[in-house]
Chain A
């Protein structure tokens, strides 16, 4: 299991009734996860959940800013976006963000991108809420050529790029790793077509059985496309409650991975049966000072398994 990569989901959110994490707290998580052996520090692109209910409202710090600061402040851990939403920014500008984050991170940036979700948070911020996947497809027709060729000229139904270059480029040049989210056949197809890593998560359960159907579908699409399955990384995002750390926070009701150290390690190792190459850990806890060191033990045990 030495090759499995492990990511940390930075929950840069203000849960109702709990203190807002300050940047110094997030910076603390960055250093702690770097020391604990996480490979990637993931920054989510969310705005505000349950916007209409003041009791349940969850606000988020902005993804690109947090990623920029994290890139500047870290030295060995990868910084990634999990995932930038196609709804939230102009695609050409998004590609420029990726190149800039790659530069600031000294080549340690993983560009996670996805369609985003229509819903109240989008409406609150003024984003379109229809044709999400079509908009995403259009955005990719701009972003992928910019990333891989440094230029694009594309006039689509939702997005336009006229004779647009991507300059300057960071140290990764045209090789920034691209991770694309996909749960349905269309978005999975786009991941198979364009991505270095496919990304998924569920909100119903973190256990491997929850990902079986998705995996079958992905493998069918891979076969139809003729792409070598080994060439596409598989990243699964899962809430996890570390042993000895109180489960809490917005992800605690998603059937997080839990149990004793041995039970957890066994479950995580079994993800390899699904061809998973990366596990992104979403804390089912708000006490990260305890959760991160507890996870260090788990990561080490899984690597040695």
Chain B
């Protein structure tokens, strides 16, 4: 199998300290996973309970230092939470720290609760994202920008030290408008499992939307990579992942590692370059258990 397989690290499923986060990351690296992902959120409020994760960029930097070979990235960085030029600088710096292993996942953000709590505007997110994406992409690829937009104004901005050339930019969005504005430029597109019901049928239908957006803008649908997150059930699954209260989580992919590997092959057949596995539970043990799939994938 050539499809890359990544793991999302714990977020708010349960309290997780840095030591355990680091251990899960190292086990994922040692057992052969290709990438590690950190959600970018500030808080969740479900059923009267408030939970929060650690801050994404400081955590990514620490993970970049602690690991040596595995790719790392936010899944996905909310462009609303930072000035876009600052986000570009954070990305360049984490990429430097990791020795060139950053994948920059970007999205507009969706969790209205945290936007309201932190005072970030929730309106016109697609338009704001369009400008932010343009700024970030330009700074990472060209190093400078002078921009007078509706939401952001940057005068003679220079990103110094320059970002490494070739930091992959991955867009996590399925809105037609955002797709049309970003597909001309992205290296990778990413979908979240709940958008397509965590099934191959659902994903095939979703891909039709992506293909159609490509046709609209004249981009070859095979010219960028596609990845999705998938919800996986491991032994000891607790279900009802905290953040899933926004939507009912679809059924997780389950079975023993051989069965899971077979299902992953079916997803690969749809043309996926990578999957990010959201594992329930997410622990050192579950990652070790899950690495059993590699035996059935010829890796």
Contact = CB atoms under 8 A, between A and B. Distances in A.
Interface in B121-168: 152-161
B118 A92 contact: yes
B86 interface: yes
A162 B117 contact: yes
A223 interface: no
B42 interface: yes
Nearest to B145: A124
- Among B51, B55, B84, B120, residue most surrounded by chain A Cβ atoms (within 10 Å): B55
B147 to A, nearest CB: 8
B93 A66 contact: yes
A27 B65 CA distance: 10
Nearest to B135: A126
A59 B92 CA distance: 12
Contact of A162 (B58, B63, B119, B155): B119
Interface residues of A, number: 53
A126 B118 contact: no
Contacts of A167: 43, 50-52
A164 B117 contact: yes
A161 interface: yes
A163 B119 CA distance: 11
Q: Report the contact-size class of chain B (Cβ under 8 Å from the partner).
A: 35 or more
Given A92-B118, A125-B83, A167-B50, A66 B61 contact: yes
Main secondary structure of the interface of A (DSSP, over half): mixed
A103 B42 contact: no
Interface in B82-139: 82-86, 89-90, 92-94, 96-97, 99, 116-120
B192 interface: no
A62 B65 contact: no
Contacts of B116: 162
Interface string A78-101: 000000000011101100110111
Contacts of B120: 90
B191 interface: no
Nearest to B80: A90
A68 interface: yes
B66 interface: yes
Given A61-B96, A90-B119, A92-B118, 18 more contacts: A23-B65, A52-B156, A57-B158, A59-B158, A61-B93, A65-B61, A69-B65, A69-B97, A72-B61, A72-B62, A72-B63, A99-B54, A103-B17, A125-B154, A126-B153, A160-B118, A161-B119, A164-B117
